[in-house]
Amino acid sequence: MGRLDGKVAIITGGVKGFGLASAKIFVREGAKVVVTDVDETGSSDVLNELGGVNAIFVSQDVSKEDSWEPVFKAAVEKFGHVDVLLNNAGILSFNDAEHVDIDEWHKILSVDLDGVMLGVKYAIKYMKDGGGSIINMSSIAGLIGISNLYAYNAAKGGVRILTKSAALYCAEQHYPIRVNSIHPAYAHTPMVDAYPEMRETLEKLHPVGRLGSAEEIANMALYLASDESSFSTGSEFVVDGGYTAQ
């Protein structure tokens, strides 16, 4: 029996990276998935890979509030309900506290923080009666400072504490919704693999001596999407090869 049998999940940024890996594992474990992404390139291939009856694609810019209602409506119309939201969509750029550009700052926060906030808001609306799991993809950059990821640090740190606030709110309202965050270290995704010249340096940062795989992060998302995590809310789940243990 699949660990997600009967569940319906929305996965943002699902065309590649952690999102795609999670979509594959969720479908394998019995879920139906709604994959969203701002980039429609490759969406047909993704749907074919997931199986025609198991998934749909909805174009979405997570930073725009008016993009969220259509995603949830599409999920309900196709599959009947929504049980899981994986707030995975994100972007990255390098900047520091002295030289950061204000437009770049707002761009990073609009996707990486505002997008998560909006996802949580609409997931509560659609899950508060039937229950569900909201999973927010943060980062080790939400736990520790990294000097050349100034805006990304701010966004992912915001995701970490936003998650806790939302979890407490849902519990206080007696909504059967769990809200948790995942904190990966550097892993093989298009975002990281775009900088091959940094690979050796990044590998040395992890005590295990390698980068993670997208599947290893997706396995944590699977746990949080499943009923196995029924007593976990407001928590941060670190998947980092020992990075933050140092």
**Catalytic residue annotation:** 152
> Which residues lie below 8 Å from residue 191, measured CB to CB, with a gap of 6+?
17, 90, 91, 92
Q: For the chain, what is the total number of helices (H) and then of strands (E)?
A: 9, 9
H/E run at residue 67: none
> Which DSSP category does 81 fall into?
-
Q: Which of 213, 208, 186 is nearest to 199 (CA)?
A: 186
Q: Give the C-alpha separation, 181 to 166, whole Å.
A: 11
> Which residues lie below 8 Å from residue 120, measured CB to CB, with a gap of 6+?
85, 87, 134, 136, 162, 163, 166, 179
